[in-house]
């Protein structure tokens, strides 16, 4: 693989132990200059007949496979069709569940020199319109249905109100996408500084923001993560994760590309199907989130099948219990690697390593990847914290977002004048640079790997009959890590509160399934600060103490996150 010379920056990690919570970037390893498309071309030339992609359909039909030669030919054909419709650096949106065309479109967009806009297939009409409007997408590729959800009808409803959207192509018309337009070279794409992706993420308030990621970030984060894991060349990587997340389309998809291996994509997560596929792929690498591992382990314990040995398991995106790590390692004779990151950092900042102790693997999220500096600061003063003292985790490096697309104010709030990206997460650092996650400064809820901003959900609930005010918080959940809970204040003339069934029905019309509260409570008043702000930590305490009246039958009413 071609790589760039190492940076001349003085920030180099070296071996000495740290004296404060600041780990400089280790620039010993050079970065790769590849785009996603040029990397595919290089690997296809080296391993033309190797299986590049294998998909496991959710209808029980036989898996499908593509060699690197076949995958490249498919991607180039679709890329040419894209270029017949839009110009260099245009935004092309993909709204679909895990289907074979997802990774093909990811590669096609890269080869065409356009920016891929990755969209959650569960978005409701207003959410889809917001994403397409914010990204200024000119072309939308969409599935017709996902889990019974009529996506085609939603597209028909929102497309007329989006002047930037000039082309809409359903996946059923995939063949019509093929074209013959000339494709730009990697040098032309680099000269035009075409970003690789736009990913949407929820902040603490307001609508989801469009995170602009470079080719250098997505290629090298996938590469350095897999090199940190010690993944062998030609390895098989099995993933049940949704492709619209960076965990799916960056780590799970581009990681095996860098390793010249096989990407096995489940079209829908089912722990029994996943276990069966792992049995067919000995020594595979599994990419996961804690919810996936919990379900997989439950099935493995009762299956009665011969033990499956995995070469590695990668997990993160939500707090990982030490017991879950130990259990997975015992069941699959493997090593579980824990990571920490966020979309704005192309998904991985820190990672445990093969030579880490058992204590480090279960109690930390590891040390930063090469080429990213990391520090822990006092949230009030910005001063670097002493070792072991919690503060806000900040990171700086090539992998951070280029910007929130179309929102310079939000970008400036996220990245300070010195280039440090403020994660909004609380952690501490030891003298080796290993990070421990302590909590979050923000109110973002992480449910099964999905970031959920309470603000938009609260705003919507307050528009419904029988709701005077609403507070949405995350509460502990053994399955999802956190679940969404809503605490409602009723109007004075209706103290009994609203009908929860009606609330859920309205939510299903307007909110993605993972954002719908699974627990509903009624309160006479909310705990406030002296300045009148809701104390959400006190709201969570009241729920934990069973001090609020429960309106619903206990149980999560919202759907799973693995679309």
Quick one: which of 94, 100, 87, 112 has its CA closest to 200? 94
DSSP 240: -
Q: Is the pLDDT of residue 384 over 70?
A: yes
State the Cα–Cα distance between residues 553 and 489, nearest whole angstrom: 19
Q: How far apart are CA 471 and CA 345, in angstroms?
A: 29
Provide CB contacts within 8 A for 461, sequence distance 6+.
467, 470, 472, 486, 488, 503, 507
pLDDT at 533: 59
- Inter-helix orientation angle 500-510/454-461, to 10°: 120
Going by C-alpha positions, the residue among 269, 362, 267, 272 that lies closest to residue 324 is: 362
CB hemisphere CA count around 159 (13 angstroms): 19
Can you point out the beta strands (E) in 202-267? 209-213, 236-239, 262-266
The architecture that CATH gives domain 445-550 is: 2-Layer Sandwich (3.30)
Pick the CATH number of 9-29+368-442 from 2.30.38.10, 1.10.3720.10, 3.40.50.360, 3.60.130.10: 2.30.38.10
Residue 217 near residue 194 (C-beta atoms within 8 A): no
Burial of 421 (0-12, 13-18, 19+ CB in 10 A): buried
Q: In terms of Cα–Cα distance, which of 100, 155, 98 is closest to 131?
A: 155
Quickly count: other Cβ atoms within 10 Å of residue 528's Cβ: 11
The answer to whether the CB of 399 falls within 8 A of the CB of 221 is yes
Tokens representing residue 225 in the block? 């993560």
Residues facing 292 on adjacent strands: none
At residue 7, does pLDDT exceed 90? no
Integer-rounded Cα Rg, in Å, for the chain is 23
| Cα–Cα distance, 383 to 80 (Å, whole number) | 51
What is d(CA 193, CA 402) in angstroms, rounded to the nearest whole number?
11
Mean pLDDT, all residues of the chain: 90
DSSP assignment of 36-93 equals: HHHHHHHHHHHSTTSEEEEEE-TTSPPPEEEEHHHHHHHHHHHHHHHHHHS-TT-EEE
Residue 560: pLDDT above 50?
no
What distance separates the 2 farthest-apart alpha carbons in the chain? 73
How high is the pLDDT of residue 356? 93
Average pLDDT over every residue of 309-317: 92
Mean pLDDT is lowest, of 249-263, 293-307, 355-369, 530-544, for 530-544
Please write the tens of the pLDDT for every residue from 474-490.
999 888 888 999 999 88
Partner residues linked to 286 by β-bridges: 238, 313
Phi and psi based region of residue 471 (left: phi greater than 0; alpha: psi -120 to 50; beta: remaining): beta
Banded model confidence at residue 562, pLDDT cuts 50, 70, 90: very low
Q: CA-CA distance, 17 to 62, in Å (whole number)? A: 52
Enumerate the H helices of 439-547 as residue ranges. Answer: 454-461, 500-510, 536-544
Structure confidence at residue 334 (pLDDT): 96
Q: What is the pLDDT of residues 16-41, one digit of tens each?
A: 799 999 999 999 999 999 999 999 99
CA distances from 263 to 273, 407, 461, 539 (A): 16, 35, 41, 43
Sheet hosting strand 91-95, strand order edge to edge: 167-170, 139-142, 91-95, 115-119, 197-201, 209-213, 403-404
Pairing of strands 336-340, 350-351: antiparallel
Domain extents in the chain: 9-29+368-442, 445-550
Average the pLDDT over 439-444 and give the result: 74
Mean pLDDT of all residues in 456-484: 88
Taking Cα atoms as reference points, which of 186, 46, 180 lies closest to residue 113? Answer: 186
pLDDT, position 233: 97
Look at the alpha carbons of 291, 515, 137, 57 in this order and tell me if their dihedral is positive or negative: positive
Per-residue pLDDT, 65: 98
Considering only 170-179, 191-200, 288-297, which range has the smallest mean pLDDT? 288-297
Average the pLDDT over 360-382 and give the result. Answer: 94
Q: Is the dihedral of CA 138, 143, 146, 152 positive or negative?
A: positive
Q: What pLDDT is recorded for position 1?
A: 54
Gap between the Cα atoms of 268 and 562, Å rounded? 7
- Average pLDDT rounded to a whole number, residues 228-240: 97
| pLDDT given for residue 380 in this prediction | 85
* Of residues 53, 254, 54, 212, the one with CA closest to residue 118: 212
Q: Please name which of 474, 479, 481 lies closest in space to residue 517, comparing C-alpha atoms.
A: 474
Burial string for 210-226 (b: 16+ CB within 10 Å, else e) reads bbbbbbbbbbbbbbbbb
Specify the pLDDT at position 456: 80
Q: What is the pLDDT of residue 202?
A: 61
């Amino acid at each position: 693989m071609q790589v760039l010379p190492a940076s001349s920056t003085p920030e180099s990690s070296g071996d000495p132990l740290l004296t404060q919570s600041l780990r400089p970037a280790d620039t010993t390893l050079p970065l790769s200059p590849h785009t996603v498309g040029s990397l595919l071309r290089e690997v296809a030339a080296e391993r033309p007949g190797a299986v590049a992609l294998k998909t496991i359909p959710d209808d029980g039909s036989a898996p499908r496979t593509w060699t690197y030669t076949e995958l490249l030919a498919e991607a180039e054909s679709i890329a040419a069709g894209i270029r017949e419709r839009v110009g260099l650096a245009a935004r092309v949106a993909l709204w679909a569940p895990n289907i074979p065309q997802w990774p093909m479109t990811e590669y096609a967009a890269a080869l065409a020199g356009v920016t891929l806009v990755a969209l959650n297939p569960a978005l409701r009409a207003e959410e889809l319109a917001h994403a397409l409007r914010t990204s200024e997408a000119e072309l939308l590729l969409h599935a017709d249905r996902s889990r019974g959800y009529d996506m085609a009808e939603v597209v028909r409803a929102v497309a007329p109100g989006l002047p930037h959207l000039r082309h809409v192509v359903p996946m059923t018309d995939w063949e019509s996408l093929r074209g013959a337009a000339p494709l730009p070279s990697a040098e032309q794409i680099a000269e035009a500084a075409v970003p690789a992706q736009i990913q949407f993420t929820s902040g603490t308030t307001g609508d989801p923001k469009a995170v602009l990621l470079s080719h250098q970030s997505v290629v090298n984060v996938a590469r350095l993560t897999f090199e940190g894991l010690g993944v062998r060349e030609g390895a098989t990587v099995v993933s049940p994760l949704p492709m619209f997340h960076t965990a799916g389309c960056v780590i799970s998809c581009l990681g095996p590309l860098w390793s010249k291996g096989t990407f096995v994509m489940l079209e829908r997560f089912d722990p029994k199907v996943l276990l069966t596929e792992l049995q067919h792929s000995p020594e595979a690498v599994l990419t996961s989130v804690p919810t996936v591992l919990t379900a997989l382990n439950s099935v493995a314990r009762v299956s009665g099948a011969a033990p499956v040995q995995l070469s590695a398991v990668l997990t993160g995106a939500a707090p990982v219990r030490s017991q879950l790590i130990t259990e997975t390692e015992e069941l699959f004779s493997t090593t579980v690697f824990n990571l920490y990151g966020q979309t704005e950092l192309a998904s991985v900042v820190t990672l445990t390593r093969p030579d880490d102790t058992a204590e480090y693997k279960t109690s930390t999220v590891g040390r930063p990847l090469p080429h990213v500096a990391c520090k822990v600061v006092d949230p009030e003063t910005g001063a670097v914290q002493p070792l072991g003292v919690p503060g806000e985790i900040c990171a700086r490096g090539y992998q951070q977002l280029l910007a929130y697309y179309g929102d310079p104010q939000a970008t400036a709030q996220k990245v300070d004048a010195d280039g440090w990206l403020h994660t909004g997460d609380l952690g501490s650092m030891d003298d080796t640079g290993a990070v421990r996650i302590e909590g979050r400064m923000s109110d973002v809820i992480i449910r099964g790997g999905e970031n959920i901003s309470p603000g938009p959900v609260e705003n919507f609930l307050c528009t419904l009959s029988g709701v005077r005010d609403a507070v949405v918080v995350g509460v502990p959940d053994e399955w999802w890590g956190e679940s969404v809970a809503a605490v409602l204040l009723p109007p004075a003339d209706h103290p009994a509160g609203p009908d929860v069934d009606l609330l859920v029905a309205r939510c299903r019309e307007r909110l993605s399934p993972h954002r719908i509260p699974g627990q509903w409570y009624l309160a006479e008043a909310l705990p406030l600060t002296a300045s009148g702000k809701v104390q959400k930590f006190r709201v969570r305490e009241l729920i934990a103490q069973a001090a609020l009246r429960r309106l619903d039958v206990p149980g999560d009413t919202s759907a799973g996150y693995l679309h």
